[in-house]
């Protein structure tokens, strides 16, 4: 269940980051949006890793 909680937190973070990207268009000549997009990519990577771990734990 802990793994599921982490996955949910990451997915909610992605949603929030995407809202921030829309709200911050043009800030610092697009730099702010670029930084937030990299945070989205990191969170997507975290979700993929956590889903991999969840599957392995279910198989154990």
Residue 6: band (very low, low, confident or very high) from pLDDT cuts 50, 70, 90: very high
Count CB neighbours of 14 within 10 A.
18
Q: Where are the domains of the chain?
A: 2-59
Contact 3, 50 (CB under 8 A): yes
Query: For 9-48, what is each residue's pLDDT tens digit?
Result: 999 999 999 999 999 988 999 999 999 999 999 999 999 9
Q: Is 50 exposed, middle or buried (0-12, 13-18, 19+ CB in 10 A)?
A: buried
Contact 49, 55 (CB under 8 A): no
């Amino acid at each position: 269940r802990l793994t599921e909680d982490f996955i949910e937190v990451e997915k909610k973070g992605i949603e929030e980051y995407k809202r921030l990207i829309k709200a911050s268009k043009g800030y610092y000549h697009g730099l702010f949006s670029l930084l937030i997009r990299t945070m989205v990519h990191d969170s997507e990577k975290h979700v993929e890793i956590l889903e991999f771990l969840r599957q392995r734990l279910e198989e154990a």
